[in-house]
Amino acid sequence: MKTEKLGFIGLGNMGHPMAKNLEKAGFPLSVYNRTISKTKDFLEKSTVAESIDALVQQSDIVFTMLTNDDSSKAVYGKILSLNIQGKLFIDMSTISPELSISTSISLKEKGASFLDAPVAGSTKPAAEGTLTIMVGGDESDIRRALPYFEKLGSTIRHLGENGKGLAAKLCVNYFVSIIYQGLAEAVLLSQKLGVDRKDILDIINNSATGSGATKVKTPLLLQNDFAPAFALDLMLKDILLAQKAGADFPLSKSLIATYQAAHEAGLGGQDVIGIINYIQSR
């Protein structure tokens, strides 16, 4: 197999450990991040690019892990001004399916390829390389990307054409938002009824109601530590994207109202399970 040069744009809470896994695997890697301090620990083994232009020019495959539609438009706007013939772009962000599809069309018009490949899992599976990767795009591009996906995730699922990976991600995060609000409410109910928080979380996690989602947030709830692995504001963004994509269900309005109110109360920078602080304050 041809050894391809990789680029990674976006070294936030998720992007940083993902790029590190590609570096640890020994792939030739360049990284770029708007906040330069986040690139320091790549200086020894990888190339720190001074600009998006420089990174794209020296890469065959470029991964992007960006915050939202606005940041995606800014980055891909620059990319589309460059000579990108033959390059593959893999966007692992959670953005709107419409923007992802329009980006894929624009890239293909310039002779490049594109995969939407958002992930399920937070910072721990990102560091462990055990993410679930949901992919939309051409089969040939997925075969090209597979050796790198295998260093980032334990489950790689091809779901169809461009946009289908993001469609699946919105469904997953819509469901997770329900789980976290429900978990917060159950913990607060146990508090009202005089059941110890640790006891109720142990019961939840060891019963049919438990899941990876409840288990990963249990330490935060026990320690009252809401440093963001996945910020509440990012979940609000994803719920609103799901609504725009067609989520019009009995729980939709309640979810949006709760997460929006938590944002307006200044809790958006906390971890998503910090929703308990808003519900408790009502």
Active site residues: 169
> Helix or strand or coil: residue 49?
coil
What gap in Å lies between CA 260 and CA 126, rounded to an integer? 27
Residue corresponding to tokens 């009995």: 250
Nearest CA to 205 out of 192, 216, 189 is that of 216
Torsion over CA: 80, 21, 130, 267 (sign): negative
Q: How many CA atoms lie within 13 Å of 29's alpha carbon, on the beta-carbon side?
A: 24
CA 26 to chain CA mean position, Å: 23
Nearest partner of 230 among 277, 281, 183, 275, judged by Cα: 275
Distance CA(162)–CA(108), nearest Å, equals 11
Residue type, 229: A
Q: Count CA atoms within 13 Å of residue 149 on its CB side.
A: 24
3-state SS, residue 150? helix
174 membership: H or E segment, kind and range = helix 164-192
> Using only C-alpha atoms, what is the Rg of the chain?
20
